Structure 1
Amino acid sequence: MRAISTVVDTTLFLLLLGGAVGTLVAGTGGLDAPPSGDDHADETATSLATTTVGVDYALTPRNNHSDGVSYGHSADFDRTAHGTVAGLLAAATRTAATLDGERIAPAGGGFERAVRNETRAAVHRRATAVGVTAVWEPYDGAPLGGRIHAGPTPPARADVRAARLTVDSGIEPANERAREAARTDGTDGVARVVAAAVVEGFFSPAESRVALRGDAPADTLAAHRYRRVARLTDAPALDLENGSVEATNARLTAALADRFAADMRDRFETPAATARAVSTGEVRIVVRTWSP
């Protein structure tokens, strides 16, 4: 496997998610095989991992009565992000993440569109069609996850070449802890480990604390994300004005762990198999090329 550095300096990424101003770092990734001279899929994957770009986008917060959130305005907020194309794709899988089909981040559509457009421009080739798909899931088939696709989809009978690249997701890898939890606490233990990693990744206490006490739209975006996940997981009522971030995250973690545990029991035969499917720390990017 050929290791490739994919460091992302995504300014204001956490603000896009609803947290404070911050930087997401996506670390080492790898291709399944080194590129050959005539394999456009491998060449393109290498380019995604090494080409640095900037994207302009807009936050688009909107009022949402089902979550009990009002922004008091409908303005867009212009932002810029920088990073490798692969790293920006990884960031976009998080802003596009859904739980049971409903978005977690309420204002990320502009960032995702900008990343798709930049990806299409970066992989454009004459006489070769290119499709790129990036997927993040905390475990295989989880009800929570994000997916971004840029470019066309190959026809059923096309002769397709494919290359795969992994990129840090920005969420703590939980594989080892999941395996230990499977041995000591079964599926419930694995679910708690995965839920804790996900909540920590989306609601980092330091950034969330600053965001909830910050200026608009960061404060409302952070509250919106919290209330949406609480609603989708049937978590207890959250006191975002007076309660601590740690207590709020603990409630979300417990509720999300219950949701994951029920799904894991339906999906996997044993706790050990469940733990092997955990992939919180990586985004999988697949590049497909074919003759149009």
Structure 2
Amino acid sequence: MNAAIDAVVALLLISAAVGVVVTGSDTPAAEPEPDRADAVADALAATTATVNYSLAPGVRELNRSGWGTDRRGQTGNQELRRTTHGSLAGLLARAATASSGVALHTDEPPERNPITGTRAGFRSAVRDAVRARTGAGARIDAVWQPYPDAPVGGRVGVGPEPPSDGVHAAILTIPTGVEPVPAHATATFGGLGHAVASRTVEVLLPHGSARITLRGDDPEAALVAHRYARVAAATNASVAEPLATEDTAAANARLTEALATRMTAELRSKYDHPSDAAEAASVSSVRIVVRTWSAPPEVA
């Protein structure tokens, strides 16, 4: 089952909050079954799957960069193989957070600068598992972002893009494992920005499990340390000193301060009042949107 590196990603529990939306023309040529989107969403929440993957992509990344040479490993190492079991919705949400990135510029999506390639195999395995159970005429998108257009976030898409009309949608909300922003932190933009930033860092690098992993002397420890280094570089923070003693709480505090400055400025520029920004905050959940439509008939 999951080893130390998997503990770095928060446990995702299912919270089925399903709603139906119909998009496109009022009279589509081939109207899909109204409840099919709901049925697919229910299946994602209730169906479990086991996915197998390897941490080898992350080790190859370390080997190419020369980073962490004292704890590198061979990509064929059997200890790098992982097996994860869970609901399809939970796996999708986990893949979205695990493959998150940090935008280096305001005009680019964060997924263009992924924190690490370690989870590429996991994301691919999850997509295959979901695709095998949804069939034709369905698109599933799992998206995690602390707030709309945030500089940090991740997404996973499965299936073809839907047509322009005749589409039904259902939504699942999956917790990331961090608490929602408390009411007392929404009085000012500064307080809100700091609260969102601290929860964002905890989703990316849960300090408790990260500390345990860093105490090892193996490639997994190097992968976690590299993840810290990537986030620090993207946020202009310095974490080398606290990580030297596995003080992940202090390292996360430094990352939070750096990210909070950026997030506070963005929230202040996007919203008229902190309460409006707080309503848009979604750092504590992954949103999974299921869209279905009638697949074209097969040609004889």
* Normalised-by-shorter TM-score class: 0.7 to 0.9
Aligned residues: 269
1:163 partnered with 2:163: no
Name the structure, 1 or 2, with higher relative contact order (CA <8 Å, separation 6+).
Answer: 2
Deviations 1:205-232 (A, max 9, x none): 3211111111422210110111111100
Q: Which residue pairs with 2:162 in the alignment?
A: 154
Q: Secondary structure at the match of 1:53?
A: strand
Q: Secondary structure at the match of 2:166?
A: coil
**Which residue identity lines up with residue 109 of structure 1 in the other structure?**
A
**Which residue identity lines up with residue 86 of structure 2 in the other structure?**
G
Q: Which residue pairs with 1:131 in the alignment?
A: 139
Q: TM-score, normalised by structure 1?
A: 0.84
Q: Once the two structures are aligned, what percentage of the paired residues are identical?
A: 38
Cα drift, residue 241 of structure 1: 1.7
Q: Any unmatched runs of 5+ in structure 1?
A: 1-10
**Which residue identity lines up with residue 102 of structure 2 in the other structure?**
L
CA RMSD of aligned residues (A): 2.4
Q: What is the alpha-carbon distance in structure 2 between the residues aligned to residue 194 and residue 23 of structure 1?
A: 16
Deviations 1:14-59 (A, max 9, x none): 6147x3xx872414222125xx975211111111110011111111
Cα drift, residue 98 of structure 1: 1.0
Q: What is the alpha-carbon distance in structure 1 between the residues aligned to residue 200 and residue 10 of structure 2?
A: 17
**Farther-moved stretch of structure 1 (201-210 vs 269-278):** 201-210
Q: What is the alpha-carbon distance in structure 1 between the residues aligned to residue 273 and residue 72 of structure 2?
A: 49
Correspondences of 1:1-292 after superposition (within 5 Å) = 11-12=1-2, 15-16=5-6, 19=8, 24-32=11-19, 38-59=34-55, 60-61=57-58, 62-63=61-62, 68-70=67-69, 72-75=72-75, 77-100=80-103, 101=110, 102-124=113-135, 128-156=136-164, 158-174=165-181, 177=182, 179-183=183-187, 186-239=188-241, 240-242=243-245, 244-292=247-295
**Farther-moved stretch of structure 1 (199-208 vs 84-93):** 199-208
Q: Any unmatched runs of 5+ in structure 2?
A: 21-31, 104-109, 296-300
Structure ID, larger Rg: 2
Q: What is the alpha-carbon distance in structure 1 between the residues aligned to residue 10 and residue 238 of structure 2?
A: 31
Q: Secondary structure at the match of 1:30?
A: coil
Q: TM-score, normalised by structure 2?
A: 0.82
Q: Secondary structure at the match of 2:287?
A: strand
